[in-house]
Amino acid sequence: MFRFHALLRRCLVLGLLWALATVACAAADTESVDINTADAFELAARLNGVGMTRAEAIIHHRQTHGPFVHPDDLVRVKGIGPRTLDKNRQRIRIGPPADAAQP
């Protein structure tokens, strides 16, 4: 009987850890990024399908052509196509987050 309780306790602990990890990953995946102010590391970390090379291309485009006006402008960056844009549409923002406190 003791073994059963120990096994049950382990399963519950592992289940809780798995649930917490899932919630943490989901929260990290939904964090938005301002494509006009983020550095290459932040862009690469928060955008799916965007590594350091593409992130640096986003920065270069921003420095050369000025700030992005709309998230759809990202398709003008070499290596960023409609699929990459669609995968990240919920993560991309222009300006401060909507839930940021207004002074």
Residue-wise pLDDT tens digits, 36-86: 999 999 999 999 999 999 999 999 999 999 999 999 999 999 999 999 999
Q: How confident is the model over 79-103, as pLDDT tens digits?
A: 999 999 999 999 999 987 765 545 5
Residue 14: which domain range? 1-30
pTM of the full predicted structure?
0.66
Residues 26 and 38 in one domain: no
101 inside domain: no
Distances (CA, A) of 27 to 19, 20, 23, 60, 97: 12, 11, 6, 29, 15
Do 74 and 25 share a structural domain?
no
